[in-house]
Amino acid sequence: MKDIRRKKSKGIQLSRNIFILVIAILHQPISKIIENRNLYVAFNLAYLLLAIYFITLLLKDMGYCNCKTQ
């Protein structure tokens, strides 16, 4: 049973890593397209919050964090 959970956790962890990588790659082209300064700041803040969220989920999967994330 633990082996199945580990495989599932590693699959979820891998998909999160791929998602974070895709967002990181797309961040630069999107930020260059945005001309409005306020929209640019809002986009960067949203990107930062999303990155923090996925990092906490990743740490929770690895067992380093006892955070209560949904």
Per-domain residue ranges for the chain? 14-62
3-state helix, strand, coil in the chain (%, to 5): 85, 0, 15
Q: Which of 62, 50, 47, 53 is nearest to 14 (CA)?
A: 62
- What is the reported pTM? 0.48
Average pLDDT value over all residues in the chain: 71
Distance, in Å, from the CA atom of 57 to the CA atom of 67, rounded to the nearest integer, reads 9
pLDDT (average), residues 30-51: 78
Which pLDDT belongs to residue 44? 80
Of residues 70 and 30, more confidence is placed in: 30
Residue that the structure tokens 């495989």 belong to = 7
Q: Which helix (H) or strand (E) holds 60?
A: helix 37-62
Q: Is the dihedral of CA 37, 46, 26, 21 positive or negative?
A: positive
